[in-house]
Structures are given as structure tokens and as C-alpha cells.
Amino acid sequence: MESKKHLNYYIILGVILALLSYPFIWLVHNYTVQSIGAGVSSLLFVTWAIVHHINEGRVRKTVIGEYILLGVVIFFVVFAILTAL
């Protein structure tokens, strides 16, 4: 039962990220929209991670900090790639 709960969380994350991949696929030459999409994707990933850990009762400052740092790093990597094109 516990693994099904985890599967539901990851399905939700996959659907969110799949929907937010729209700016990268269909708006290839609009770097502003792609940058906004990358920022929204990172923000939703961090939000999802925090909610996931709150629901499991394993939320700590270090976990929140780790996900925030990961979201920021991923956003800046995507942003740097987009500006280099």
C-alpha cells in the first residue's frame, strides 16, 4: 500500500512536468516563454517535493533546503543553456 502512495506522488510529478514541457516543444524560438516555463517547472518541483515530505511526516529544514537548491540549480542550468543559443 505504501508503494502505491509513492507511485501516485510520482505520477502527479510526471504529469505536471509533462504539461510544463509544452513551452520547450512547441515554442522553440521563444526563449522568454521557455525561461518562464523553466522557472514555473522548478517552482512546482520544489512545491511538490515539500508537500510530499510534509504528507509523509519527514519534512526537515535540510530537506526543504536541498530541494530549493536543486530547483534553483536546474533553473539556472536551463536558463544558461537558453541564453547561450
CB 48 within 8 A of CB 69: no
- Please list the pLDDT of the chain residue by residue as tens digits (85 residues): 567 777 888 898 889 888 888 777 888 888 888 888 889 889 999 999 999 899 888 889 999 999 999 999 999 998 898 888 7
**Nine-digit cell at 13?**
510529478
pLDDT for position 62: 94
Domain ranges of the chain: 2-84
Could you tell me the CA-to-CA distances from 23 to 41, 54, 69 in Å, in that order?
11, 30, 23
Contact 20, 38 (CB under 8 A): no
Write the CB contacts of 16 (distance below 8 Å, at least 6 apart in sequence): 41, 44, 45, 48
Four-residue CA torsion sign, 70, 71, 74, 79: negative
Would you say the pTM of this structure is higher than 0.75?
yes
